[in-house]
A and B are shown apart, each in its own frame.
Chain A
Amino acid sequence: MKVKYTVLTLLVVLALVLSACGAQSQPAVVRIGWLSGPDSLNIGVAWLGTAYTISGLTYSTMYRFNLDGTFSFDLGTDVKRSEDGLVYTFTIREGVKFHDGQPLTAKDVAFTYNLVMAHEDFPTLHSYVDTFASVEAPDDKTVVVTLTEAIPNIESKLVYLYVFPEHIWKDHSDGEAATSFENLEMIGSGPFKMVEYKANEFIRLGTNKDYYGGAAKVDEVIFQVFQNSDVLVQALKSGQVDMVTSVPNTSVQTLKTDANIKIVAGAPFSPDLTDIIFNTTDPENCPIADGGLCTGHPALRDKQVRLAMAYATDKQKIIDVVLLGLGEPGIALIPTGLGEWFNTNIRDYEYDVDKANQILDEAGYKDADGDGVRDMPDGSQPLTFRLNWPNTQSTYPRVAELLSEMWSELGITLEMQVVESDTLTAQCCPALDFDIIIWGWIADPDPNTLLIIPTTDQIPTGYNETGFSSARYDELFVKQGVELDLDKRREMVWEMQAIVHENVPYIIPYYPFAVQAYRLDRFTGWKDSETKVALEDNSSLLNIEPIK
């Protein structure tokens, strides 16, 4: 034991001495702390947003998705759309090189798009080429994309199609070869290149000095995984990291008192929402063939009941208690972070318990047996609903408690239970074996991914979790998907939100803020006042420089 200790002590001293020596000629290294690293460096098979973050730093794409919600050219320099809206001819930058020195040409772009098209087993990436019919590269700087239908949102389809080098991926393009490729070297053409990767520990990215957009002013960016958010905050406070991509709301107050730390809060890069899901499914429309059970409480099929519950939901109180104020009240499925797609005309149901009670009285839901709980108009059963939420979110239990309090004022009781998230998926959809669920969605740059959720076609697939069905909504969804006129499309998207809001299949309590923080004494130039908060984005990492 003695020998062991002595050796250990010696090593510690040695390490301290050596690390102190090295400190003088250190290159500028930005250390970023986050809660989870990418699941794979092969973006084709990846699921996590963090994999997209890293790919965004190491690869180039046709368009770049900016923090203000707009798109701008990255590799592209010009685009021409055919009369019928089906053929896009892109011209791309010349002289772009991959990290290994090989030139990037239109052939690489076409190769990549074709690769993704051929791989239906790429879980998230494949969805971006769903309307692609063919992609060709007639010469080194021209890419021709032909679509199956005219769509208004080609930019949003291209922002995540990271251009792979054909000379590397051609050996990893067929079937299993593509899905089992780990892509550890991550050769791309973006502003940063892979230096070292330790799965679930850290990623070291070096600056690409030849980057066509101007090289970063730092030498290296390190993303380090901290599995616990309180420890992550402590790492920032003690200076072990320079920036953290997420701060728990509970730590905001204490961090504010630290003069060396700045907190940034606002809409996340991929805006998200928390939704209270009502099972409105009529047993007649039950997707039995897909495993539908449709055991929802009959009262929740009545719009008046849902409306009363909406009036009795104090969203601001939920935000203040659960998020400590770091969020904004929700309206429909489109979060404010999606910019112009968010319908600013809708006036939300104002918190009014008396009005809510009045609605229920008028609809005939009386407390027939005098037990303090309202009953169905026919007296068959009380308004006692099952309320479930997944175990993955620490905020949901508090939301549930508050809802129980608020709705008890209406004579509604809840049977609350947390459920393991995959089990809840099995219960939820398309089984529709629940009354009310608290859950959430994350948005894509284009509103389509969220708009598709309440369509009738998505009941059997399980994405339409409420079982909501409206012919007008379905019609609008199809129409806006091929409307090339931006203003007309926006009008339809706004109307769709109004339909959802009016029928109350959901109550959207809030759109939570992203909360990040950085140290003021290490680097300057963080983009902290953009529309959306993402300090780990290219926009910040290409701009920051060390404080001398």
Chain B
Amino acid sequence: MNRWHYFRNKAGWSLFTLIFVIVLNFFLFRVMPGDAARQGIRDPRLTKETIEAIRVRFGLDKPVINCIDSLNPVRFGSCSVNPLDTQFFIYVKNLLKGDLGVSFYYNRPVSDILGERLWNTILLIGAGQILAILIGVFLGVLAAWKARSAIDYTALFTGLLAWSLPAFWLGIILVFWGSNHGFPIGGKATPGISSYPFLTQIGDIARHLILPTFTYTVIFMGEYTLLMRSSLMDVLAEDYILTAKAKGLSTFQILKDHALKNGMLPMVTLIAINLGYTVGGVIQIEAVFSWPGLGGALFEAVSRRDFPILQGGFLLIAVSVIIANFIADLTYSYLDPRVQTE
């Protein structure tokens, strides 16, 4: 009963956040100055009539919402327009139908563009996160276990160093090193590889993944190492660990059965937060290695005022953050049963 109530509560908040994001996403980008119909491009070949025709094509000629024609500059209009004929409600209506609209810039359905990009980003983040978590947790546990020894200080130093490395800088260094050692430095696959057998294609993508994944792993593993170390050291100082020691359990058993589960709590939070943020945070790595991911698509879309891509992309990020947090909340209740009773 308790667990069900907790679940419902969390699900309710997630839904509320989602609706808030959908509304905010729409208005936020329209507050930016500039004209979406001209994509940030000034070109004398573009006549007034052409801009107007493009505006009609994308529905930008319609009022943003009842009473307001445009948000930047704010221009008030008629309040008597049919709400269903305003940009906002058309956006909501299409969203409910699962239609994210058509990119102003690429003239392709947003779901197609983001779909391709999302998988590429998931591939990169997935490989990088798993490695970073594994190595980070391992180093963190090792450091906490051998606290204040040479091993600890080495792990601590490595963690701090890795955490403070700028992704961009590390990426460029790897590009210079890697290009001289036969590693591909740009893109997700070798152009033309699609006519080769499936396994060759997989191998080719794997080769292209090595440098960006390595960069990603190094950048994120430091944070995990440091957090794991300090969290585990707190736990190891608890009385019940002393009890476990008194019972004659081996250090490995103490770590595995008693300390690690509690020590993982803050890690779960961090991983959940990171999963959401990395979509944006991975932009730098994507830019260095020309990885066709989501971050780059959003970055471009901002400067082009490509509202449909921005709305769709940020909705996607919001959904992934909300889901990650929801899962984290549920994981807490498993790791620490006290959480759900509070």
A interface, CB within 8 angstroms of B: 1, 4, 8, 11-12, 14-16, 18-19, 22, 29, 31, 33, 39-40, 42, 45, 47, 120-124, 126-127, 130, 176, 179-180, 182, 196, 198-202, 204, 220, 222, 224-228, 230-232, 234-235, 237-238, 240, 291, 392, 420-423, 425-427, 441-442, 444, 449-450, 452-453, 458, 461-463
Give complex CA distance A18, B39 in Å. Answer: 44
B290:A225 contact, CB within 8 angstroms:
yes
**B-chain residues with CB within 8 Å of residue A39 when the two chains form the complex:** 105-107
Give complex CA distance A120, B196 in Å. Answer: 43
A227:B296 contact, CB within 8 angstroms:
yes
CB distance from A378 to the nearest CB of B (A): 33
- Within 297-328 of B, Cβ neighbours of A (below 8 Å) are at 297, 303, 305
* Contacts known (A234-B176, A235-B186, A421-B303); A12 close to B42, Cβ less than 8 A: no
Ordered by A's residue number, 6 sampled pairs between the chains whose C-beta atoms are within 8 Å are A11-B199, A120-B53, A126-B47, A201-B188, A231-B289, A240-B179
* Contacts known (A121-B57, A228-B287, A463-B44); A234 close to B179, Cβ less than 8 A: yes
* Contacts known (A121-B53, A124-B43); A224 close to B187, Cβ less than 8 A: yes
Which of B72, B107, B182, B290 interacts with A180 by CB under 8 Å?
A: B107
A224:B106 contact, CB within 8 angstroms:
no
Which of B44, B54, B108, B296 interacts with A452 by CB under 8 Å?
A: B44
* Contacts known (A31-B191, A226-B290, A425-B40); A176 close to B34, Cβ less than 8 A: no
Nearest neighbor of B116 in chain A, beta-carbon distance: A199
Closest 6 CB pairs of A and B: A15-B203, A422-B34, A121-B53, A238-B179, A127-B45, A202-B191
**B-chain residues with CB within 8 Å of residue A121 when the two chains form the complex:** 50, 53-54, 56-57
Which of A199, A220, A238, A421 interacts with B40 by CB under 8 Å?
A: A421
CB distance from B155 to the nearest CB of A (A): 18
CB distance from B103 to the nearest CB of A (A): 9
Chain B, residues 18-43, CB within 8 Å of chain A (1/0): the string is: 00000000000000111100111111
A220:B203 contact, CB within 8 angstroms:
no
B113 on the interface (CB 8 Å rule)?
yes
A127:B46 contact, CB within 8 angstroms:
yes
Give complex CA distance A12, B182 in Å. Answer: 12
Give complex CA distance A204, B195 in Å. Answer: 12
B105:A240 contact, CB within 8 angstroms:
no
14 further A-B contacts with Cβ under 8 Å, apart from A8-B206, A231-B185, A235-B185, are A15-B200, A18-B197, A120-B50, A121-B54, A123-B54, A201-B290, A202-B191, A225-B292, A231-B172, A232-B186, A234-B175, A235-B186, A423-B34, A461-B48
B106:A15 contact, CB within 8 angstroms:
no
Give complex CA distance A252, B128 in Å. Answer: 35
**B-chain residues with CB within 8 Å of residue A227 when the two chains form the complex:** 286-288, 290, 296
Number of B residues, CB within 8 Å of A:
69
Nearest neighbor of A236 in chain B, beta-carbon distance: B179
Nearest neighbor of B134 in chain A, beta-carbon distance: A1
B337 on the interface (CB 8 Å rule)?
no
Nearest neighbor of B305 in chain A, beta-carbon distance: A422
**A-chain residues with CB within 8 Å of residue B184 when the two chains form the complex:** 240
Give complex CA distance A526, B119 in Å. Answer: 38
Which of B47, B50, B175, B187 interacts with A201 by CB under 8 Å?
A: B187
* Contacts known (A11-B203, A18-B196, A461-B48); A392 close to B105, Cβ less than 8 A: no
Nearest neighbor of A230 in chain B, beta-carbon distance: B172
B106:A40 contact, CB within 8 angstroms:
yes
Chain B, residues 178-216, CB within 8 Å of chain A (1/0): the string is: 011010111111111010110110111011001000000
Nearest neighbor of B46 in chain A, beta-carbon distance: A123
CB distance from A56 to the nearest CB of B (A): 17
Chain B, residues 270-296, CB within 8 Å of chain A (1/0): the string is: 000000000000000011111010001
B166 on the interface (CB 8 Å rule)?
no
B46:A12 contact, CB within 8 angstroms:
no
Which of B35, B47, B57, B191 interacts with A425 by CB under 8 Å?
A: B35
Nearest neighbor of B284 in chain A, beta-carbon distance: A228
**A-chain residues with CB within 8 Å of residue B342 when the two chains form the complex:** none
A47:B172 contact, CB within 8 angstroms:
no
CB distance from B279 to the nearest CB of A (A): 17
A450:B303 contact, CB within 8 angstroms:
no
Give complex CA distance A234, B174 in Å. Answer: 11
Nearest neighbor of B192 in chain A, beta-carbon distance: A204
* Contacts known (A123-B46, A422-B32); A201 close to B292, Cβ less than 8 A: yes
Nearest neighbor of B209 in chain A, beta-carbon distance: A8
Give complex CA distance A225, B49 in Å. Answer: 33
Chain B, residues 82-117, CB within 8 Å of chain A (1/0): the string is: 000000000000000000001001111000010010
Nearest neighbor of A451 in chain B, beta-carbon distance: B44
B33:A231 contact, CB within 8 angstroms:
no
CB distance from A174 to the nearest CB of B (A): 13
**A-chain residues with CB within 8 Å of residue B199 when the two chains form the complex:** 11, 14
Give complex CA distance A463, B45 in Å. Answer: 10
**B-chain residues with CB within 8 Å of residue A198 when the two chains form the complex:** 191, 292
B206:A11 contact, CB within 8 angstroms:
yes
**B-chain residues with CB within 8 Å of residue A14 when the two chains form the complex:** 199-200, 203
